[in-house]
Amino acid sequence: MPAYVMVNTRVSDPTRIQLYRDLAEQSVKQFGGTYLARGGHLRVLEGTYHPERMVLLEFPTLERAQAWYASDAYAEARRARAGIAEFEMVLVEGLPAPL
């Protein structure tokens, strides 16, 4: 089953965050992940949650998503964003593909 990583980001240094984005993108690809949404227009439809910038990733399985997050490649990306961005990140398993 696919798995999805949903991220709300707050960036304080738009110039320096580019290194994080480059490293993160490379690490996502290494684990079979793809970006489904990346900072496009967003609108809150219900509730009080007001994210600033959303990113949505898809991985082939929950295990691949967890391996990506725990990887040395993504740890390097996280170090690159230290002090210049705050992230809220959630991993959720998707539904099985229809037959």
Q: pLDDT grade, residue 99 (50/70/90)?
A: confident
Phi, psi of 69 (to 5 degrees): -60, -35
**90 or 96: which leads in pLDDT:** 90
Cα distance between residue 20 and residue 94, in whole Å: 26
Residue 97 pLDDT more than 90?
Answer: no
Using alpha carbons only, what angle is made at residue 84 by residues 31 and 36, rounded to the nearest 5 degrees? 35
Select from 61, 64, 50 the least CA-distant residue to 10: 50
pLDDT 10s digits, 14-70: 999 999 999 999 999 999 999 999 988 999 999 999 999 999 999 999 999 999 999
Please spell the DSSP secondary structure of 4-70, one letter per residue. Answer: EEEEEEEES-TTTHHHHHHHHHHHHHHTT-EEEEES------SSS---SEEEEEEESSHHHHHHHHH
Has domain 3-93 been given CATH number 3.50.50.60? no
Residue 8 pLDDT more than 80?
Answer: yes
Distance of CA 62 to the CA centre of its chain: 14
Residue type, 63: E
pLDDT at 23: 97
Domain ranges of the chain: 3-93
pLDDT at 72: 98
